[in-house]
Structure 1
Amino acid sequence: MKPKLLFLCFLVFSAATFSARAQLSSRQIDSLSEKVLKTFDVPGIAVAVIKDGKLIHSKGYGLRSLKTKEPVNEHTLFGIASNSKAFTAAALGMMVDEGKLSWDDKVVDLIPDFKLYNPYVTQEFTVRDLLTHRSGLGLGAGDLMIWPDSGSVTKTELIHNLHYLKPVSAFRTKYDYDNLLYVVAGEVLAKVSGMSWEDFIEKRIMQPLGMSESAAAYLRLKSDKNTIDAHAPVNGKVEVIGKNFTQIANAAGGIWSNLEDMSKWAIMQMNNGKYGSQQEKSLFSEKAHREMWSPQTIIRGSSPYNTHFSSYGLGWFLSDVKGYFQATHTGGLGGIVTQVTLIPELKLGIIVLTNQQSGAAFNAVTNSIKDSYFGIKGKDRIGQYRENELKNQREADQITNKVWADIAAAQKKTKDKPDLNNYTGTFADPWFGKVTITDKNGVLWFQSVKSPKLCGTLSFYKGNTFIAKWKDRSMDADAYLLFSLDKDGKAWGLKMEAISPLTDFSYDFQDLDFTRSEKE
């Protein structure tokens, strides 16, 4: 074939390939985002797309708050929640680069008070283990110390209480997502750097990258004038709810940021730690970056893209998507969910920030944009995620509705009603602390001492089981209370379990084991 003809064929092939993979235009992203707002009842959303090292789309949609009616824009600040974990991993990678730390240093050598349930695991636990969700602890173990509020729990108490949490699998054999070990990772950073986690993130990462509007915690923001309110469904209607700050868990999920700043972070990540107008500066080495983006823990699961592998690295979820490597993470606080997706081989980054706790919403946006770059046509991602969301909600409603129907039936029976005095008193769990159960005019009232938001009425269900209906209806976390009685019929122990399968995993009621406190 003649060189000129070969060149023309190349141009035709390239044009056809580009046409097949033509990305969504900004106008199409506008339409997509507006449709997502309406479909998933999300007040506000912010969407950024990065391509070839440049921010090609950055825009807000909808409202920052249903109360103020002020609009979301590219500078509106959201809590990025667990997307903060990648910052923690990056900070530790910088310490590895400086020779102050090794990924495989033992945690007890750095934090002497660190102790887990198993002595062997305690001695062998490394910095790498803190970041990879393979400790053997269950999903969200101990999160009630920081969720739905941290109450009066300190970091010192949190680290001390880790040894009360019983493992559910063997060390380094199974993926179970956690938050508390990232709090420990933040303390490791403070120990080796001589700076608090918050100071390090702001001075050593945010300032060099020019993330001038962001902060390592909500209370450290320079201004809160352009921040979102959190929203959640309450009795079937989306409302503004209180923000969850979890100050002691900033290393796991405390950062507040916006599209403009997060795009700088994403571009640096896709450039293997390099930044600056000519990529002349480096936040961390390529070696450290490879370690963060190397699979550490296998994850079993499914994907809409027929993914062949899925794993967790250091602060990132890693997978293959249509033959391309993908690094991503999500984040969730009460009423706020976010997602960062990076496909470095395509030089593509997608950031979605929302102020309503619908993961289906950010998935619909992200995957619709991804489809356009993969050349996938005819997929109604909004419809798919909405259908799945409704299906899950119907199944959860069937469970909860039956429970409340059983309670209503039980209340009509006079013979089987228990003596409420047998269930009142103070009960204590080793890591969660005390709760009180009191009789208020013939109705039992549950109150946590260290997590004040966990309060509500108890309704008799059956046998020695009651149902907690929390006062804050935005939590969607009503729970079974299963009492153990002594020979005289007096409650001496108490265990709990969430009713709805949609209850956030951070309500780890199943890890609680209360016994009646001798000092009431």
Structure 2
Amino acid sequence: MAMVAGTATAAPPADLDMRVETAMRSHGVPGMAIAIVEDGKVSLTRGYGVRRLGSPERVDADTIFPTGSTGKAITSAALAVLVDDGKLGWDDKVIDHMPWFRMYDPWVTNEITVRDLLVHRSGLGLGAGDLMFVPTSSRSRADTVRALRHIKPATGFRSGYAYDNLLYAVAGQLIEEVSGQTWEVFVRERVLKPAGMGSSVTEQSARFANPNRAWPHARTGGRVRGMGEQAVLDERRTLGDNGAPAGGLSSSANDMAHWLQVQLGQGTWTNAAGEPIRVFSQAQSRQMWTPAVLTPTPTWPGKLAAAAPKFSAYALGWNVRDYRGEKMIDHGGAIFGVLAYVVMVPERNFGIAMLMNAEDMPAMRGVALELVDHYLGAPKTDWVAAFDEFMELRFNGGIEALDAAAKSRVGSTGKASLATARYAGRYRDSWYGEIDIKQDKGGLRIDFTRTPGMVGRLEHAQHDTFRTVWDDPTIEPAYLTFGLSAEGKVDRITLKSVSPIADFSYDYQDLLFTPEDKGS
């Protein structure tokens, strides 16, 4: 049974509750929340299901969920406030405001702008550096920014698009350097409060302190993530505070409705007293919605092909694309165990925000697209089924790749080159930091020292390659390959994800560990 808050001023679909509950039930989703704004008015804020499997507490319109990368637009808005204040410009050089900032390439260090931090064209590879804050890290934000100088680019500066989170952490640090307040405080005081987002929080500790919060859930018991039984995750091992400007905001349906009003109102919304409240200027609203870099237009399979955009670009914390001949502004968000989605069609003056405490994407994105169709007056389409078809292909492809890799491995006949003890030691990667590998009861254990809880044993796979068996089974396993010198000593360690469809934030492939006494 749905729990409703707010007054309906527009007409959502009459069968919305039934549609949402059917999608949730068929996918085993514990809880969901939805906000809809049309013509500047809140049409609906509503919660469905439970906050945590096995507990009776219901999701309502004030239940807070992590919003993942949909919060990148909040960081962009905070920078927009500073632009309105005259304290920086979108095309200012970052180093002019943060002199200690460094990229790997000195020329890029001197050229990269505030705008570049937000649009994924820096030359970094997909998800570069994400292991510095997911799972939860012990690093500070400033320390994370300093490590950036050690990450080699994958492409030329401004030569193309590759999604990253790390530069949003830089943007958060930049806000602190310019304003004198941390990202958390500045966002709370200058964005959330003026926007009427009173239940939203910027710190993980504040989320944990709120009893009306959703817990993360995921399917991690199958051969690839997304398969197996739904289970509650450890909410304290999702995202470190150092990465919060990239995806650390937690919010509710009621607050997301206000955020939609601010966005559709080009920086201004009207509060309950009928007073117009400006969060940022119309000029900055235009800047944040203006495409800065073209992004690939996907080729989606089967029924989903009809929803694929013909034009796609990235602006300042937003995707800009077409759908059924309309310009659509949207962004997805994902923190382990939680998904979020925000979509707006500005020319039709409506927006939808969805929050879900599970990773079963079709249930959320399918319903969202069906709602967009409703407000566009488009024919009804079962987008949930279309996304299901897409995910089935993805899972099947992942399993086939795992089977092919298993056949190609030598297996137990490929014995390790060294005695177990000779693989042990402390190793260091230039940007991640240290790992410890220790002998334990005749085997090996590994500890990613900057990531609390990322510990486990190493299981021999073949030759000098081992597989991680993490104590926390929700962490994606990796293969570690020890490279040997001519003297038969460990010279380096490289890694790769075991799963071919692992989340890109497990950027194991970018790590290169060397014995600590060799330096970095």
Any idea what SS the aligned residue of 1:350 has? strand
1:114 to 75, 80, 101: 101
CA distance in 2, matches of 1:77, 1:405: 45
Q: The residue matched to 1:185 in structure 2 has which SS?
A: helix
Partner of 2:322: 320
Cα displacement (A) at 1:280:
3.2
Q: In the aligned structure 2, how far is the partner of 1:391 from the partner of 1:306?
A: 17
Look up the SS of the partner of 2:34 in the other structure.
strand
Partners in 2 of 1:194 and 1:416 — Cα distance? 54
Is 1:424 the counterpart of 2:418 in the alignment?
no
Q: Secondary structure of the residue that 1:208 maps to in structure 2?
A: coil
2:417, 2:464 within 8 Å by CA — same for their partners in 1? Answer: no
For 2:45, the equivalent position in structure 1 comes to: 58
- Corresponding residue for 1:389? 391
Residue pair 1:113, 1:159 contacting (<8 A) in 2 also: no
Specify the code of the residue in structure 2 equivalent to 1:197: W
> What SS does the aligned partner of 1:473 have?
coil
Q: Which residue pairs with 2:234 in the alignment?
A: 242
CA distance in 1: counterparts of 2:233 and 2:415, whole angstroms: 41
Q: Is the 8 A contact 2:297 2:309 kept in 1?
A: no
Amino acid at match of 1:453: G
Residue 469 of structure 1: CA displacement?
A: 2.4
Seen in structure 2, the aligned counterparts of structure 1 residues 462 and 269 have a Cα distance that, compared at 3 Å, is same
Which protein is bigger by CA-based radius of gyration? Answer: 1
Counterpart residue identity of residue 364, structure 1? G
C-alpha separation in 1, matches of 2:145 and 2:431:
10
Cα distance in 1 for residues equivalent to 2:422 and 2:488: 7
**Kindly tell me: are residues 317 and 391 of structure 1, through their superposed partners in 2, closer, same or farther at Cα, counting changes over 3 Å?**
same
Q: Which secondary structure state, in structure 1, belongs to the residue aligned with residue 363 of structure 2?
A: helix
**1:42-77: CA deviation from partner (whole Å, max 9, x where unpaired):** 111112222222222221111100132321111111
Give ranges in structure 2 of 5+ residues lacking alignment: 1-9, 222-227, 301-305
* 1:442-467 deviation per Cα after TM superposition (whole angstroms, max 9, x unaligned): 33222111113322222222232222
Q: Compare 90-99 and 186-195 and name the one that shifted more.
A: 186-195
- Supply the distance in 1 between the matched residues of 2:378 and 2:498 (Cα, whole angstroms): 39
Taking a change above 3 Å as real, the CA distance of residues 405 and 46 of structure 1, as seen in their structure-2 partners, is farther
Q: What SS class does the counterpart of residue 114 from structure 1 fall into?
A: coil
Among all aligned residue pairs of Structure 1 and Structure 2, give the percentage whose two residues are the same amino acid: 35
Query: 1:279 offset after TM fit, Å?
Result: 6.8
Aligned-pair CA distance for 1:222? 9.7
C-alpha distance in structure 1 between counterparts of 2:297 and 2:179, whole Å: 37
- Give me the TM-score of the superposition, normalised by structure 2: 0.90
Q: What is the number of residues matched between the two proteins? A: 494
Cα distance between partner residues in 2 of 1:104 and 1:72: 42
Match of 2:278 in 1: 282
- Following superposition, the deviation at residue 38 of structure 1 comes to 2.2
Is 1:194 matched with 2:193? no
Q: Which residue of 1 aligns with 2:369?
A: 367
1:263 to 257, 264, 272: 257
* Structure 1 unaligned regions, length at least 5: 1-22
SS at match of 1:422: helix
Answering whether residue 245 of structure 2 is matched by residue 251 of structure 1, we say: yes
Aligned CA-pair RMSD: 2.2
Matched-pair contact (CA < 8 Å) for 1:458–1:467: yes
CA distance in 2, matches of 1:322, 1:149: 40
Check the 8 A contact 2:81/2:190 in 1, yes or no: no
State the shift of 1:421 in Å: 2.9
Q: How many Å separate the matches in 1 of 2:69 and 2:453?
A: 22
CA distance in 1, matches of 2:167, 2:513: 23
The one-character-per-residue Cα deviations of 1:208-227 (angstroms, maximum 9, x if unpaired) are 22211111223235951110
2: CA distance, partners of 1:362 / 1:318? 20
Q: Distance in 1 between matches of 2:442 and 2:363?
A: 43
Match of 2:505 in 1: 506
Find the aligned partners of 1:138 and 1:416 in 2 and give their Cα distance. Answer: 32
Residue in 2 aligned with 1:145?
132
Q: Structure 2 CA distance, aligned partners of 1:188 and 1:326? A: 29
Return the match for 2:297 from 294, 301, 304.
301
- With the length of structure 1 as denominator, give the TM-score of the two structures: 0.90
> C-alpha separation between the residues in 1 aligned to 2:426 and 2:416?
24
Deviations for 1:108-145, whole angstroms, at most 9, x for unmatched residues? 11111110111100000111111111110001111111
Output the CA distance in 2 between the equivalents of 1:38 and 1:401: 31
